Structure formats: C-alpha cells, structure tokens
Amino acid sequence: MARFSKPAIRRMTILLFVMAALSLTLFSCSTYCAQSQQTYIDMSSVTLLQLEEPADDAPAVVIHTTEGDITAVLYPEEAPNYVAQFMRLAEEGYYDGTYVFQVEKDVYFSAGSPENDGVIGATAAAAPEENVAVETSANLWPFRGALCVPLTGHDRSFWNNLFGQAADYCGTRFLVCDTIEFDEATIADIQAVDASAKQISDAFVERGGIPNYAQQMTIFGQAYGEESFATIDAITSAAVKAAAEETAYTAPAEDILIETIEVTTWGEICQ
C-alpha cells in the first residue's frame, strides 16, 4: 500500500474534497468519490454509524496487542463478506501472534501479517481470503479509530473497465486509522465543502481521521473507548525502522504483535 507523508496526505485530502464539492454541485448533492468504480453518494441518506452508540447485539472484537487493547464494533450490514471472514479467522486463531508491519507516524498502522515485514507468499496471495471484493458504504468513513482493509489487487481488464465491472480486492491484513494533522488550512479547506457534506466534514474535524481514504477501501469496524485510542496512539507513535526496499513499509523498530482477537458482542463488553 502506498505510503503518505503528512503534507502529502493533506494535499490529497484537499484534492478529494475539491472533487467532492464539484460533484456535489454537478450531480444534485451527490458526492463523487474518486475510485476505480465511480460511486455516487446521496448525502441526504447517509447515516454516520460510527457516531452512534452500538446496539447491544452488535458484533464486536477486542484486539489484544502487546501495546494494549483495542475494542471495536463491527458492521456486518455494511461489509458482510469481510466481517464474516474477519470474525471467522479471529475465532480460528489466524491473527494470534501476527505483526504490526507498517507504521505511518501518527497517521495509521497496518497489522495482521504472519511475518513482521508484511510480505506474504504467492500461494497465500492467491487464496480467497486475500481476494475479497471491496465493500464500500456511504455510512462508514475513515475517521480516527476506523478499521480498514488496504487493497491487495485489482481486476481492471479492458472489457471490465469498459462496462463498469472493474473490481478491487482486499485481504487479511488490516489498517487502523489514527489521524492526519488538521491544521488551520486543512480545516478551512474541509469546511469549504458543499453544505450537504457538512456532517461528514464536521466529523473529520471533530474526531480526526484520514479523509483521502474515503470510499477507497472496505471499512469494517470502529474503535471505541479511551483505552482503544491510547493503544492506537502508542502504536502509531512507535519508533520505526528504515523503509524496506521491497515494500517501503516502515515497521516498528521493536516488534508489536497482535496476541489474539476476542470475538464478542457490544453488550457483553459493556456488562
């Protein structure tokens, strides 16, 4: 997955929102999100699920790491295929002892790799678990604490592109958002977006996140609670190694692991 410095992320954020603003004007208050399959979002129908208190029966996970725990609710109605796979793999112990293999300083970390360099072999890369079709939702956005899934591949043959059937795929490794730096200029750019997108731009300014990832990848969960965000901050602030030649990943200088992932419900967590 491409790495971004904070200034680069800020520039891409501005570009995203400029494009969104233009499309909001051109397409009757629908946001155009720049991705391989053009998606138009009716902002009037958006429900920001990550701002709501989860239902007691909502599926949830506790990600136990060597830096602390991250408690997150999952969204099977918005990303059914990925949530089903993630829960199954967690229950099978797939993530036990896997690594945080990429840290973008204070912005995000990527985890869930059996190897500390994040590289998987050709056989594993061809497995169905590494080729799950991307599921985007107008109700989920890459706010701080969002659980996202970087892309692993694409199907963009000439005919699929021609007929609008190109597809993006994601796999077992996942990304947890911290936040870009929302300085005065970035906030001004975001707040200048068309009024129909105000609830989303306000949420980014208030909560933090990575706006330029919006509608680019599957978002399947959201972290809640002070301990969760303290853990996210601890991981994204960790010292890192020099970028690897093959992948450009900047792995933690000292290994950070997922010890296990506990599958539960929100109600059980809150008891």
Q: Quick one: the chain helix, strand, coil %, rounded to 5? A: 35, 25, 40
The pLDDT, as a whole number, for residue 40 is 62
Please tell me the pTM assigned to this model: 0.84
Q: What percent of the chain has pLDDT over 70?
A: 80
What are the CA-CA distances from residue 94 to residues 98, 103, 117 (Å)? 8, 21, 17
DSSP state of 256: -
Number of Cβ within 10 Å of residue 77's Cβ equals 11
Residues 91-124: tens digit of each pLDDT:
999 999 999 999 999 999 999 999 999 998 899 9
pLDDT of residue 231: 98
In which residue ranges of the chain is pLDDT below 50?
Answer: 2, 14, 18-38
CATH topology of domain 6-270: Cyclophilin (2.40.100)
pLDDT at 37: 45
Q: Is 142 helix (H, G, I), strand (E, B) or coil?
A: coil
Residue 156, pLDDT score? 57
Q: What is the pLDDT of residue 27?
A: 32
